[in-house]
C-alpha cells in the first residue's frame, strides 16, 4: 500500500506473506536508512544494530545471542514474574493510576534493566531519559533538539560507564556476558540504546493497546 506523510512518500507492507518476503530480501528492503518512516541521521545509518544488513547483522546477532543462554532465559522468566507481581500489587494499593506510564512502561523498562543489570538506584534517571528521548520524536511534545541531544548524550554516557563497570567487575547478568565477549565497546553501547528504546516501546504499546475496548463490529459481507 502506498502512503504519504506530509513530506515523505513510503510503502506500507501489510500482508503476512509480503512481510516475510521483505524481511528475507534484505538486498531490496535494506535497513540501512533506519527503522522509521523518517530516515535516521546519516551518522547513524549502518552503525546502529538495527541499521545493519547481513553479513554484519548476522555477526552482531550471533555475539548478542551468546548472552541469552537457556539458564539466563530461565532466570529472566522468574524475574519477569516477580517484577510483574510487584508492579501490580503496588497498583492495587493505590486503586487509581495512569496505566501507560505506571504499568505498561514500568514493566518492560524494569525487565530491560534486569537484563542489563542496572542498579535500582539508577533506574529512575535511566527511565526518565529514555522516555524523554522517545517523546522527542512527537512534535506535539515540543521537546527541543538541544534537550533531546543532551538526554541522548547522558544515556549513551551511562551505557558506556555501565559496560566498563561490567568488564571490570562482571556479575551474573546478560550484560556482563556481552561486555566480556567479542562485541567492541561502541557496538555494545549502541545496543544498549537500541534495547532501551525498541524493547520498551513495543511492549509498552502492546500492553496499552490490549486494554483498548474493541471497535464496532464489521458489517457482514
- Tens of pLDDT, residue by residue over 137-188, are 787 888 898 999 999 999 999 999 999 999 999 988 888 888 888 888 888 8
CB 110 within 8 A of CB 87: yes
Distance CA 194, CA 164 (A): 18
| pLDDT tens figures, 50-70 | 888 898 888 888 888 888 888
Distance CA 23, CA 30 (A): 9
Please say whether the beta carbons of 188 and 156 come within 8 A: no
So what's the pLDDT on residue 36? 75
| Predicted confidence (pLDDT) per residue in 83-137, tens digit | 999 999 998 898 788 998 889 888 999 988 988 889 999 999 999 999 898 888 7
Contact (CB, 8 A) for 158 and 122:
yes
Rounded to whole angstroms, the Cα distance separating 122 from 129 reads: 11
SS3 content of the chain, % helix, strand, coil (to 5): 65, 5, 35
d(C-alpha 45, C-alpha 43), whole Å: 6
Q: Please, what are the domains in the chain?
A: 70-211 (1.10.630.10)
Across all residues in the chain, what is the average pLDDT? 86
Give me Rg for the CA atoms of the chain: 19
Q: Which three cell numbers stand for residue 106?
A: 514500568
Dihedral through CA 206, CA 192, CA 62, CA 106, nearest 10? -30
Neighbours of 193 (CB within 10 A): 19
Spatial contact of 200 and 109, defined as CB atoms under 8 Å apart: yes
Question: What cell does 192 get?
Answer: 544498549
The reported pTM is 0.76
Position 185 scores a pLDDT of: 87
Give the CA diameter of the chain.
65
Q: What sign does the dihedral 129-206-64-178 (CA atoms) show?
A: positive
Q: Could you tell me the CA-to-CA distances from 41 to 46, 51, 109 in Å, in that order? A: 10, 11, 26
Amino acid at each position: 500500500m502506498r502512503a504519504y506523510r506530509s513530506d515523505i512518500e513510503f510503502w506500507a507492507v501489510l500482508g503476512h506473506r509480503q512481510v516475510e518476503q521483505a524481511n528475507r530480501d534484505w538486498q531490496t528492503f535494506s535497513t540501512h536508512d533506519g527503522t522509521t518512516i523518517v530516515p535516521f541521521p546519516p551518522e547513524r545509518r549502518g552503525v546502529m544494530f538495527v541499521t545493519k544488513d547481513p553479513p554484519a547483522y548476522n555477526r552482531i546477532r550471533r555475539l548478542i545471542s551468546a548472552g541469552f543462554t537457556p539458564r539466563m532465559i530461565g532466570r529472566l522468566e522468574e524475574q519477569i514474574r516477580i517484577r510483574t507481581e510487584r508492579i501490580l500489587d503496588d497498583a492495587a494499593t493505590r486503586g487509581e493510576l495512569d496505566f501507560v506510564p505506571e504499568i505498561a512502561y514500568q514493566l518492560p523498562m524494569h525487565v530491560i534493566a534486569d537484563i542489563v543489570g542496572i542498579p535500582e538506584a539508577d533506574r529512575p534517571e535511566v527511565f526518565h531519559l529514555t522516555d524523554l528521548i522517545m517523546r522527542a520524536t512527537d512534535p506535539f511534545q515540543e521537546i527541543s533538539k538541544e534537550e533531546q541531544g543532551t538526554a541522548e548524550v547522558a544515556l549513551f554516557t551511562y551505557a558506556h560507564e555501565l559496560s566498563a563497570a561490567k568488564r571490570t567487575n562482571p556479575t551474573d547478568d546478560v550484560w556482563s556476558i556481552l561486555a566480556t565477549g567479542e562485541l567492541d565497546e561502541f557496538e555494545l553501547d549502541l545496543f544498549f540504546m537500541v534495547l532501551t528504546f525498541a524493547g520498551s516501546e513495543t511492549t509498552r504499546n502492546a500492553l496499552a493497546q490490549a486494554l483498548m475496548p474493541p471497535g464496532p463490529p464489521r458489517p457482514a459481507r
